[in-house]
Amino acid sequence: MRVVPFIISAVFSSALIVGLNKQWGSIPPMGKFLHPQYGFWQNAEPSSQSFDADLSIEDLKGNANVYLDERLVPHVFAENDEDLYFIQGYLHAKFRLFQMDLQTKAAEGRASEIAGEKAINYDKEQRRLGMRFAAENAMKEIEKEAAYKKLFDAYTNGVNTYINSLTESSVPLEYKLLNFQPEKWTNLRTALLLKMMAKMLSSGTEKDLDYTNAKAIFLPDQLKKLYPQVPDSLLPIIPKGTAFEKPGIIPVPPANADSLYINNTESVVANEISKPDINNGSNNWVVAGSKTQSGVPILSNDPHLELSLPSIWYEIQLQTPSSNTYGVSLPGSPFIIIGFNDSIAWGVTNSQRDVKDYYDIKFKDDKTKEEYWFNGEWQKSSLRVETIKVKGGDDVLDTVAYTVFGPVMFDKSHPDTIKGNRNLAVRWTAHDPSNEAITFYKLNRASNYDEYVEAIKSFECPGQNFVFASKSGDIAIWQQGNFPARWDRQGLFVMPGADSSFMWQGFIPQEENPHIKNPARGFLESANQRPADSTYPYFIPGSYISARAITIENYLKDMNAITPDDMMKLQNNYFNTLAEDVRPILLKYIREGDLSSTEKKYLDIFRNWDLMASPDSKGQTIYQCWFDSLEVGIWKDDLTRSNPMAPWPEEQTTMEWLKRDSAFSFIDDITTPEVETIYDIVTAALKKASVNLAKNEMEGKLEWSKFKDPTIYHLLKTALPAFARTGLHVGGNGNIINAVTHSHGPSWRMIVQMSTPTEAYGVYPGGQSGNPGSKFYDDYIDNWVNGKYFKLWYMREGDRLDKNIKWTMKFKKA
């Protein structure tokens, strides 16, 4: 009888072994995950962890050292460029491998391999947008010059050297949780990462589909008023009054533009699943020595992106006998993106320019998509069969047709996934062959204004505002990108694609991109506003933001004897310029006698508010809820006449209309028999907002930071809530200098004073390590929240025994 319990025990043990080594839904194989020798326990990093290392590597050409300071910032000293970028790749992989892997898989449309079927539509969209196609075209440009290709090869070899050194126990925690393995790095993956940045910063700056729906319900003159190209309150990047050269190219609209395009009222139901965040933007400014206490320029930059753990940025210093550069890099790509060297400093903000258009395509057969009508005949499509591998499911096939314009992103054959009633091809400058990364290689080594200009010439997409300062005293800003030269209103709406007449006719010559050097006023700034006033000779649509630039200009013009500390305070400023304009309007038109005691209480708080969107401000919460409610009261009845709904006018536009004409036609609610006045709408807006305000007050969330709950999520968002930082005590908003929203904001703050020696400060909301089990995972966040900075240690050859060095990694040629 002993055999029976033995059999039962054996069966149970076998089942347990199988069960613990199998993935059940989203639960990883628990046997491996909990294993004491190679499970998640091994990712817990002791606070006394040493990062000293002696490495012998065959791929190196010489010897190199990496000096890690107390914040885990690496100071890389190499004998040549190839070793420098090999080591940068190695360090990126060592501290940020999962981030690099996840972001490039997502860029390519391979998220389903990790997330399963819920990511299929996202992957289809990435592939239909042509993300890999764009990266492949970039590789053609990268590989044209052998010298530059060697740098990318070296970086890739560094990443793979680290990947090959991993053991089962040292694989990053996320791989164990999601039960997959790191994948070999390639130069193409670096190109994919850069194209993902292009999507984040240029794919969301057009509203062609939205404006097409608006055109279905509004007359051309109404469209110009609702969505103006030049706001009344604009303070452009290039100061007003600057004279521009005559245009080098004058695009001509086709003769049938009015009938086929401007007056075409057909709507479109296509909609992007992963539209980039509208708050993607940045601030940068530079002040000349004439306005600083030190007598030398000071440059400031804070790019606004989705806040994540690990951070989008990785701080690093890269030094060879011929260059020495400090700043932040993008894990997955070589070079320093924002930073400084011995001679210059530079920063970037997004241009917000529209460089992506849609064209209506007619297929001979909507099912096969093999031919499309163009220039009076059927043209052959280039068909790309995409295979989407799905974790836990069958492969999904999707055929994407490529036309003379680009890939057909939306078509009639996929109504169940990407809704659409028309075939829409996308023309996007990111598809064109280019090598944006080399701009940063050159900037890392530039020593003066001319070399800065030469460096940025190769940067095509996304358009950026490159701000510059040098130790020779020069300051400058240049909006750089490959921008299509458009005729008036070209590309605002879906365009006819039956022939070449609506295609771009060329690009604005690079030397005619808006730029300025050493202005008499002694400062320059950009904050995602329109780059030039209406005298600029080209039509330049985009999704511009005006308010932050106005605030920055108002402060800088009155500041003198400026110090780095002044610049830190300005980067963390909470003043709400838009509310300064809106408050008199709301107070003028509110019917106070119609308010309840609770509504009067909120009105009094708002009336006495200091206009600062600080963390504890109740006035900011009341203002935002009231103004949001007012916008709904003014616009929603008109915008919903289109299905899908037409886009909301910008907050700045609403404010300017209310200042200009309190009786403008959109005040009236067309869904009611009454004719509403501005008094009705403003009062009703506060009443509606008060309901929400009272609810939040009862929950203890009337203070601004509690209301918006600033949060820095792990890259996997809600899948790993324990790895996030929530409830941060920080104020701000998207149109305020300190542009923190719920999970978006200043991703890196940098101040550089061009003194000798260079004096620089920086901070980002994260930490150097991507390991949630490391004390370096999120150790910068408290400083970032409190507006504090780290002094950036610009190490030199003679500092190898400096007390700032905590650990040393020695790289030797094997």
Domains of the chain: residue spans and CATH: 51-110+135-255+277-355+434-492+509-573+754-814 (3.60.20.10), 577-708 (1.10.1400.10)
Separation CA 656–CA 570 (nearest Å): 26
Closest CA to 639 of 215, 150, 116, 277: 215
pLDDT of residue 39: 45
Looking at residues 660-685, what average pLDDT do you find?
A: 94
Q: What is the mean pLDDT of residues 470-487?
A: 98
Check pLDDT > 80 for residue 357: yes
Does the pLDDT at position 710 exceed 50? yes
Residue range 407-419: average pLDDT? 70
Residue 765, number of CB atoms within 10 A of its CB = 28
Residue 41: pLDDT above 80?
Answer: no
> Residue 11 pLDDT > 90, yes or no?
no
Residues 756-779 pLDDT 10s: 999 999 999 999 999 999 999 999
Predicted pLDDT at 1: 45
Peptide bond into 541 cis (omega under 30): no
Distances (CA, A) of 449 to 82, 363, 510, 522: 26, 51, 16, 16
At residue 449, the 3 state secondary structure works out as helix
**Integer Cα distance of 794 and 377 in angstroms:** 62
- The single residue listed with the structure tokens 């400060």 is 761
Q: What percentage of the chain has pLDDT greater than the value 90?
A: 88
pLDDT in tens, 388-402: 999 999 999 999 999
Per residue in 490-540, pLDDT (tens digit) is: 999 999 999 999 999 999 999 999 999 999 999 999 999 999 999 999 999
pLDDT interval class at 17 (50, 70, 90): very low
- What's residue 37's pLDDT? 44
Which pair of structure tokens corresponds to residue 589?
Answer: 């038109």
pLDDT digits (tens, 9 = 90+) for 171-217: 999 999 999 999 999 999 999 999 999 999 998 789 999 999 999 99
Residue 419 has pLDDT above 70, yes or no: no
- If we measure between CA atoms, which residue out of 333, 329, 310 comes closest to residue 767? 310
Q: What is 343-388 written as a DSSP string?
A: SEEEEEEE--B--EEEEEE-BSSTTT--EEEETTEEEEPEEEEEEE
Give dist(CA 424, CA 408) in Å, integer.
Answer: 5
Mean pLDDT of 439-468: 97
pLDDT in tens, 247-259: 999 999 999 999 9
The pLDDT score that the predictor gives to residue 43 is: 63
d(CA 624, CA 618): 10
Residue 560: what pLDDT?
98
pLDDT the model gives residue 492 = 97
Asked if pLDDT for residue 666 goes beyond 60, the answer is yes
Q: How far apart, in Å, do the first and last CA atoms of the chain sit?
A: 64
pLDDT at 454: 98
pLDDT of residue 245: 93
State residue 3's pLDDT score.
Answer: 54
Residue 573, pLDDT > 60, answer yes
**For the chain, percent of residues with pLDDT exceeding 70:** 94
* pLDDT the model gives residue 643: 87
Q: pLDDT tier at 675 (50, 70, 90 boundaries)?
A: very high
Model confidence at 420, pLDDT cuts 50, 70, 90, reads: low
pLDDT in tens, 139-152: 999 999 999 999 99
Q: Which residue has the tokens 């511009």?
A: 544
pLDDT tens-place string over residues 585-596 = 999 999 999 999
At 677, is the secondary structure helix, strand, or coil? Answer: coil
Cα 708 vs. chain centroid, distance in angstroms? 20
Residue listed under structure tokens 């009076």? 376
**273 contacts 521 by C-beta, under 8 angstroms:** no
φ and ψ of 189, to 5 deg: -70, -35
Sign of CA dihedral 714, 717, 723, 727: positive
Per-residue pLDDT at 34: 52
Residue 30 has pLDDT above 90, yes or no: no
Residue 701: pLDDT over 70: yes
Q: Residue 16's pLDDT is what?
A: 43
**pLDDT at site 8:** 55
Given a contact cutoff of 8 angstroms between Cβ atoms, the answer to whether 96 and 310 are in contact is: yes
Rounded CA separation 584/184 (Å): 59
Average pLDDT in the chain: 93
If we measure between CA atoms, which residue out of 813, 772, 760 comes closest to residue 299? Answer: 760
pLDDT tens digit sequence for 253-302: 999 999 999 999 998 888 888 888 887 889 999 999 999 999 999 999 99
pLDDT at 342 over 70: yes
